[in-house]
Structure 1
Amino acid sequence: MELDGENEVIGTANLLSSLAAALLRALAIDLSRSLKRHLSHNFSPLEAL
């Protein structure tokens, strides 16, 4: 019985960890897109030459 509770805690921790990783990934992708959009609107490669 003790082992079941421990496995449940580990399973819950793994689930939370996966959710956190997915959330961070989504935020990073969103941030990356926003940054690219921001840079493309405010900076053209021709200005660098």
Structure 2
Amino acid sequence: MRWLVCPDSFKDCLPAAAVAAALAGGLLAGDASAEVRCLPLADGGEGTVAALL
């Protein structure tokens, strides 16, 4: 199965890239053959610059 993980940050807790990595890890733990691609997003507020880089 192929997954596209596109989270925003968890304000004052985790940046979007860390959320994406955690979700991807969970998906791969459940199905090691899954293809997971991470694309951190932002809504224009906190974390936008990091998501664009």
TM tier, smaller: 0.3 to 0.5
Select the structure of larger CA radius of gyration: 1
Q: Which has the higher helix share?
A: 1
Q: Which has the higher contact order (CA 8 A, sep 6+)?
A: 2
> Could you state the TM-score of these two structures normalised by the residue count of structure 1?
0.36
> Could you state the TM-score of these two structures normalised by the residue count of structure 2?
0.33
Q: Which has the higher strand share?
A: 2
